[in-house]
Chain A
Amino acid sequence: MGSQVLLIEDEPNIIEAITFILSRDGWQVRSHSGGHDAMEVVRARRPDLIILDVMLPGRSGFDLLADIRGDADLAQTPVLMLTARGQRKDREMAERSGASMFMTKPFSNAEMLEAVRSLAARK
């Protein structure tokens, strides 16, 4: 398939795990770990799908999501949000900000794969 997934996440081990899972399924995974410069990376890469962690160093995932949705070129890109805090208000916040899907850490690998596949198909 060769679709490109951009993973914005600051935990190296979690990047490693998701990259492994998606790569094995045929996805092209790029990752980025900073919050401040993430938007430039998104614009430059024009990924088919974004996996976005809520808590990033320097900038909130929700802010980043709002920027993505505010960008005409990126508005249609599916975004899967991940959070480790697991609170209901985070889920609501994500939906309001325009997240396509919301997942709580820890997740099962199959779940992650399924979510990415369905989001890519939805596009």
Chain B
Amino acid sequence: MATFTLLVLVCVAYVVLLFGVAFAADRAARRGRGAWLRSPLVYTLSLSIYCTAWTFYGAVGFAARSGLEYVTIYLGPTLVMIGWWWTLRKMVRVGRSQRITSVADMISSRYGKSNTLAVCVTILAVIGATPYIALQLQSVTLSFAAFTPAGPSLQARSEQSIAIYVALGLTLFTILFGTRNLDANERHHGVVIAIALEAVVKLFALLAVGVFVVWGLEGGIAQTLARIDASPIAEFTVTPSRWTALTLLSATAFLCLPRMFQVMVVENEDESHLRTAAWAFPLYLMLISLFVVPIAAVGLDLMPAGTNPDLFVLKLPLLAGQDGLAILSFLGGFSSATSMVIVAAIALSTMVSNHIVMPIWLRATGGAAMMSGDVRHVALLARRLSIGAVVFLGYLYFRMSGGGTALAAIGLIAFAGVAQFLPALMGGLVWRGATRLGALAGLSVGFAFWLYCLLLPSFGAGVILPVRVMEAGLFGQSWLRPYAMFWTGGMDPLVHAVMWSMLLNCAAFCAVSLFTFPRPVERLQGAQFVNVFDHSQRPGSWTGGLGQSEDLLIMSQRILGAAEAQELFARAARRQGLSGYLPEPSPEFLEFLERRLSGSVGAATAHAMVSQIVGRATVSVEDLLAVADETAQIMEYSNRLEAKSTEQARTARQLRVVNEKLTQLSVQKDGFLSQVSHELRTPMTSIRAFSEILLGGDLTPEQLQKYASIIHAESLRLTRLLDDLLDLSVLESGQVVLNVQSGTLAQVLDRAISGAVGGAAGSLNIRRDAASEAVLLQTDIDRLAQVFINLIANARKYCDAAHPVLDIRAERDSTTLTVDFVDNGTGIPIEDEALIFEKFSRLGETRAPGAGLGLAICREIMHRLGGSVAYLPGQGGAAFRVTLPLAPLEPGGGNDLVTKGGLRSVR
């Protein structure tokens, strides 16, 4: 019997061989030699990573457990290769023309380069692939264990260490050959050749075992058939629902598995290889599945009960003492496992680093590193670490799940997971109306159901999902039981999960797509994907139908704006005599459009854009998008500039207003000073003139008397003016302390009248109403009297009636007292009414009646007392109304400035 050491040696030797082949192939490819590397056969063989260790070992186990069901795993891909050849070609064409690097890239690219979508797909792909990688590690360790009849403890320990070594070795190999070139789109010749070699090894190994079993152990086809008929396999009945589900699942997985996408689309050298693969790959599948049933039947018969049927491929040769064949078979399984892990790790690491690590890193460094060469190193490091992480995750799952589950079950769970990509992927290829949000919705819903109905329960009740949830449903809702959603109990868990997840995935994808509107870049990408053949198959032709016109319209809308572009196209269509809004892309129209676009983006760009869309492609779609985005940015920039200049204009306007105010204040100040000067100089003039006259002597006593009294009066006028100025300045600055006393209105008026007219009223007849004056006031009586004095004195001075009369009328309501002073003169001209309360209300070189500071002081005082004084127009003569609140004034000052500003003056 082959020893453990021998097996390890064989493995190492095999891996060294793979290294050698991969290395040689890489070197040949770099030197431009090795046309055989790019043969359709190599491509077909590389597709065989579909057949992993699961297929190699698991298919036999599958057949032994469930009969012919295993065929579905091969049926799906066969149907796809033959029946969906056209779709595959479309995928490959799109992948090449868009420089797609992974299935995540494909989906995100289709839906407007949405990184959100790419991140989702990546995460889901990693989750889906983890059990699958675990499966490979498990199969390798199982196969080692099959050779070692040691005690259970030793076995367990060596199993773990084997898994670790295998994981490490695979990581190393993948890093060495998978991350040589940064450009993920560049082919990994070394890896592909190594995989092709592994495909040959596993096929040869399985065929050899099969031949040995049929002719070596059974003695011919007839005996084998008889054995099969007698075995339990013949008694398994086919469940139609499971068959349909499994065939569908394997077909879907064949299209969606990241590693399949890698070899089928990314590593594809030439579209025409698909033609060969279309018949060669089904043939390969047929060959590899040819001896599954015989091996299973014979194994069930010969092997002791309880033997893991997954290991019949190994155990049967061992049982027969064919150590060489057993080792070959072991190598076949080893090949299957390693090739799958390598390609899966490359595919997943590309996705992880491109869509998760790099965006985060670029954002963190603010894109500064784009300038230097750092980005290359970081990308490589990211990819290498991702490879390690992906394989490690698989190892972790292997350790957690304990390796007890049947291989086929794990594989199907993973299939169902990646199958969720299908609606977004295929829908995006055939339906232009599919939107990013639709894809996101479908994926999320599908994966949620897959997770809840299949993956989480697969760990067993109570491991992740509590037993209670498994039996009674989430939140105790029976329709939320993982194996019986919406009361669909009694179904096979796999069929149940696939049905619900795919059904709801498709429904969400379609519904959301229908109800959302694609962004321009999505529409453009959608057109590129769906019409990939139209675009690339008409070189040199300017006529391309309305599909191209629509693309042209999309492009034009981004540059000219939606309304203008639509108008332009509709007009062109009318000129061509067409009824719709899209014109034929005739040479005349294209030239016209180019000219129109060149006004916005320049002639070269416009030509490049139009050429691209109508099929004279010399520019990549990315370049085109970049140009269009630049235009959008320029427009946005100019919009921002415009906004900025509007802002500046607003600021300037505000500044102008403030400046005007300041200028006005300055003019007012100058005017005030000029007025003060005038008011001071006028009495001074009289005083000086008469002083000099007096000094000159030679005057009569009457003259002496008269001129001395003039000097005296003008001195008093001067003093009054200075008093008023000081009073006003104190009032205006708010530094006034009010002296609150109580008194009746009658008392205040009495004081005011005697102050204003002296002992006798002279010619002015003052009429009062004693009854209305019996109001008790709590205010600064002195200041109020000062206001009244001013008003009465004005009436006395300026009332020009023959018999001047001043009516003083008081009125009160619950809160306020009003006192009106109305004389019977001609009053104040309307144009001056607004000015009389201004200081020296004389504007320009003319003088208004009542000029001086009196009314300005009155206004200030009333303001301090909490009331007001106003001119009442239309009362016959001059009429002033004083308004005062009846509430007692706060002692010390009723004005806001004093209390708020804390500017209480100290006298």
Contact = CB atoms under 8 A, between A and B. Distances in A.
Interface string B704-729: 00000010011000000000000000
Interface stretch (A41-49, A67-75, A83-91, A115-123): A83-91
A63 B846 CA distance: 10
Given A84-B677, A106-B685, A106-B688, A13 B846 contact: no
Interface stretch (B304-312, B558-566, B689-697): B689-697
For B682, B689, B690, B692, which residue has the most chain A Cβ atoms within 10 angstroms?
B689
Contacts of A54: 845
A11 B686 contact: yes
Contact of A14 (B685, B692, B693, B842): B685
Contacts of B477: none
B681 interface: yes
Interface string A32-73: 000100000000000000000011111111110000000000
Contacts of A104: 681
A104 B680 CA distance: 12
A62 B682 contact: no
B847 A14 contact: no
B669 to A, nearest CB: 13
Given A13-B710, A56-B846, A86 B693 contact: no
Interface in B795-850: 842, 844-847, 849
Nearest to A35: B846
Contact of B686 (A14, A60, A63): A14
Interface in A4-45: 10-11, 13-14, 16-18, 20-21, 35
A54 B844 CA distance: 10
A18 B688 CA distance: 11
B847 A57 contact: yes
A106 B718 CA distance: 14
A16 B710 contact: yes
Contact of A13 (B696, B714, B842, B845): B714
Given A86-B681, A105-B681, A105-B684, A17 B689 contact: yes
For A21, A58, A85, A86, which residue has the most chain B Cβ atoms within 10 angstroms?
A85
B768 to A, nearest CB: 32
A60 B677 contact: no
Nearest to A16: B710
B180 interface: no
A56 B847 contact: yes
A85 B686 contact: no
B826 to A, nearest CB: 14
B654 interface: no
B687 interface: yes
B847 A108 contact: no
Nearest to B847: A57
B847 A13 contact: no
A93 B687 CA distance: 27
Interface string A72-103: 00000000000011110000000000000000
A60 B693 contact: no
A60 to B, nearest CB: 3
A55 B685 contact: no
A61 B678 CA distance: 14
For B679, B686, B693, B713, which residue has the most chain A Cβ atoms within 10 angstroms?
B686
Contact of A84 (B682, B696, B714): B682
B674 interface: yes
A84 B840 CA distance: 14
Interface residues of B, number: 26
Interface in B840-882: 842, 844-847, 849
A3 interface: no
Contacts of B677: 84-87
Interface string B758-772: 000000000000000
B684 to A, nearest CB: 5
B682 A11 contact: yes
B846 A105 contact: no
Contacts of B690: 13, 17
Contacts of B679: 84
A78 to B, nearest CB: 21
Contact of A17 (B674, B686, B713, B846): B686
B847 A11 contact: no
B688 A10 contact: no
A106 B678 CA distance: 10
A55 B693 contact: no
Contacts of A58: 846-847
A108 B692 contact: yes
Contacts of A108: 688, 692
B689 A18 contact: yes
Nearest to B689: A17
Contacts of B849: 57
A91 B648 CA distance: 42
A107 B681 CA distance: 10
A84 B846 contact: no
A84 B677 CA distance: 7
A20 B693 CA distance: 9
Given A11-B686, A13-B714, A106 B845 contact: no
A36 to B, nearest CB: 10
Nearest to A82: B685
Nearest to B678: A84
Contacts of A105: 681-682, 684-685
Contacts of B684: 105-106
A97 to B, nearest CB: 11
Contacts of B696: 109
Interface string B468-502: 00000000000000000000000000000000000
B686 to A, nearest CB: 4
Interface string B627-667: 00000000000000000000000000000000000000000
B703 to A, nearest CB: 8
Contact of A55 (B689, B713, B846): B846
A60 B848 CA distance: 12
Nearest to B679: A84
Contacts of B710: 13, 16
A58 B684 CA distance: 23
Nearest to B849: A57
B845 A62 contact: yes
A73 to B, nearest CB: 24
A106 B693 CA distance: 14
Nearest to B703: A20
B847 A106 contact: no
Contacts of A63: 845
Contacts of A20: 693
A55 B686 contact: no
Interface in B35-93: none
A107 B685 contact: yes
A82 to B, nearest CB: 8
Contacts of B682: 11, 14, 84, 105
A60 B692 contact: no
Contacts of A62: 845
Contact of A109 (B689, B713, B714, B842): B689
Contacts of A61: 845
B269 to A, nearest CB: 95
Given A54-B845, A62-B845, A106-B688, A17 B681 contact: no
Contacts of A18: 689
Q: Which 9 A-B pairs have the closest CB atoms?
A: A60-B845, A17-B689, A84-B681, A13-B686, A106-B685, A105-B685, A106-B688, A84-B678, A109-B692
Given A13-B690, A84-B678, A86-B681, 10 more contacts: A13-B710, A14-B689, A16-B710, A17-B685, A21-B689, A55-B842, A85-B681, A105-B685, A106-B685, A107-B685
11 contacts: A11-B682, A14-B682, A14-B685, A17-B686, A55-B842, A55-B847, A59-B846, A86-B681, A105-B681, A105-B684, A105-B685
Interface of A: 10-11, 13-14, 16-18, 20-21, 35, 54-63, 84-87, 104-110
Interface of B: 674-675, 677-679, 681-682, 684-690, 692-693, 696, 710, 713-714, 842, 844-847, 849
